[in-house]
């Protein structure tokens, strides 16, 4: 994943973990792009720091989709975005 320009996780990232992807009914990734931007030394506003993307990459009975939430680091709380 570190070699790809996009940091967005994919099901193929789980191939090294054995049969996890094959045997799972649902696979959900959580992505917070600010994590990667923080490493570049850029100071980000709180609205950007807490933006979190949930990626339902595999949903045998529920389908796939993406949705966003906001992570409030002060209260350790997720809110709808």
Instruction: Give the span between the Cα atoms of 73 and 4, in whole angstroms.
Output: 28
Please tell me the predicted confidence (pLDDT) of residue 57. Answer: 92
pLDDT per residue as tens digits for the range 16-34: 777 877 788 999 999 988 8
Domain ranges, ordered by start, for the chain: 11-80
Say if residues 71 and 80 touch (Cβ distance below 8 Å): no
pLDDT per residue as tens digits for the range 43-52: 788 778 889 9
User: Is the model's pTM score more than 0.75?
Assistant: yes
Average pLDDT over residues 29-41: 80
Average pLDDT over residues 50-66: 92
């Amino acid at each position: 994943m570190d070699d790809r320009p996009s940091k967005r996780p994919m099901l193929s990232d789980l191939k090294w973990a054995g049969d996890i992807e094959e045997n799972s009914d649902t696979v959900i990734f959580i992505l917070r792009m600010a994590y990667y931007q923080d490493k570049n030394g850029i100071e980000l506003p709180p609205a950007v720091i807490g933006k979190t993307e949930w990626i339902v990459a595999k949903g045998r009975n529920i389908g796939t989709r993406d949705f966003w939430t906001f992570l409030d680091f002060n209260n350790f709380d997720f809110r709808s975005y």
